[in-house]
Amino acid sequence: MKAGKDTPVNLDSLHFYATVPHACSYLPEREATTLFADPSARMNNMLYSQLSALGFRRSGEHIYRPHCATCRACKPLRIPVERFQPDRSQRRNLRRNADLTTRARPVRFEDEHYALYRRYIRARHPGGGMDQDSPEHYMSFITSPWSDTRLHEFRDAGRLLGVAVTDHLVNGLSAVYTFFDPDLPRRALGTYAVLWQIQHARVLGRKWLYLGYWIEETPKMAYKRRFRPAEYFDGHDWVALEEDGTR
């Protein structure tokens, strides 16, 4: 399948492949199945944007979505940026990090970024496999040859504190991955990166910030439900995530 950079594609012509059931990475004792867009298809930013609107996500150059037969715990989440209003805690976070400067960098390997990434992974995901990474694996994880990806740096007086890997979609932004200095918990840099990307999407005139998947039972994902209003994809439509975490 061939397509230009911003050419709409008939999704009916795109093939999808499901993995065999495997151990779920998030919920113990559950099996997961993942649906992948055809890796041999010629992906572009328009097609990627169309798939994002259907709950798909990018990891490296692969586009995927959970497709479990008996579980719907993984909810694709997005923020309608024009309607977002930070709560009191988020306003404090913005004030606390107002001294940071931000710069967009092109997608390329940088030793400074990788060193921070390694520190973050060792602190946040020890023993999970990601701490056995390499420069090649790192780049293949955060980038792809066809996505419009930017590396947004957050610095304090020149010192690199965080990097938000952000895909620029046709009508939104996708927060692919964020890594930051693990020794600065008071700054809550993960929260700040989301708030900054919401603001940036608004400045660019994009409608949505896609936050990936949210699982209510997973404590590490609890922070995502603090960004309101939010919508999740139920397999057919985007519906409001209510205060109690339900439709």
34-70 pLDDT, tens digit per residue, is: 999 999 888 999 999 999 999 999 999 999 999 999 8
| CA dihedral sign of residues 38, 42, 47, 48 | positive
pLDDT band at 3 (very low <50, low <70, confident <90, very high): very low
Nearest to 139 by CA among 162, 160, 163, 114: 114
pLDDT confidence of residue 161: 98
Tell me, yes or no, whether 46 and 144 share the same domain.
no
Residue with tokens 């399948």: 1
| Domain count across the chain | 2
Tell me, yes or no, whether 16 and 125 share the same domain.
no
User: Cis bond leading into 229, ω under 30°?
Assistant: yes
The least confident of 17-26, 46-55, 215-224 is 215-224
Tell me, yes or no, whether 236 and 131 share the same domain.
yes
Inform me whether the pLDDT recorded for 132 exceeds 70: no
Tell me, yes or no, whether 179 and 130 share the same domain.
yes
Chosen domain end from 45, 74, 103? 74
Tell me, yes or no, whether 139 and 231 share the same domain.
yes
pLDDT band at 128 (very low <50, low <70, confident <90, very high): low
Please enumerate in sequence order all residues whose Cβ is within 8 A of that of 88, keeping only pairs 6 or more positions apart, or say none: none
Kindly report the pTM of this predicted structure: 0.91
Residue 115, token pair as written in the block: 């060193």
Q: Would you say residue 5 lies in a domain?
A: no
Average pLDDT, stretch 218-236?
92
* Angle at alpha carbon of residue 71, lines to 67 and 74, rounded to 5°: 70
pLDDT in tens, 73-89: 999 999 999 999 999 99
pLDDT band at 4 (very low <50, low <70, confident <90, very high): very low
pLDDT band at 195 (very low <50, low <70, confident <90, very high): very high
| 154 CB burial (10 A radius; 0-12, 13-18, 19+) | buried
Share of the chain above pLDDT 90, in %: 80
Tell me, yes or no, whether 223 and 119 share the same domain.
yes
Tell me, yes or no, whether 123 and 204 share the same domain.
yes
Identify the domain containing residue 184 by its residue range: 78-240
Q: Would you say residue 1 lies in a domain?
A: no
Q: Would you say residue 246 lies in a domain?
A: no
Chosen domain end from 74, 109, 128? 74
Average pLDDT, stretch 214-243?
91
Tell me, yes or no, whether 105 and 53 share the same domain.
no
Residue type, 150: R
Q: Would you say residue 247 lies in a domain?
A: no
Question: Which strand (E) or helix (H) includes residue 205?
Answer: none
Residue with tokens 């439709």: 247
CATH number, domain with residue 155: 3.40.630.30
Q: What is the DSSP pairing of strand 172-180 with strand 62-66?
A: unpaired
Inform me whether the pLDDT recorded for 13 exceeds 90: no
Tell me, yes or no, whether 187 and 113 share the same domain.
yes
What gap in Å lies between CA 227 and CA 95, rounded to an integer? 17
Tell me, yes or no, whether 215 and 116 share the same domain.
yes
pLDDT confidence of residue 127: 64
Average pLDDT in the chain: 91
Tell me, yes or no, whether 18 and 134 share the same domain.
no
Average pLDDT, stretch 124-137?
74
Tell me, yes or no, whether 16 and 113 share the same domain.
no
Which residues, listed in sequence order, are joined to residue 231 by a DSSP beta bridge? 78, 240
Q: Would you say residue 153 lies in a domain?
A: yes
Q: Would you say residue 214 lies in a domain?
A: yes
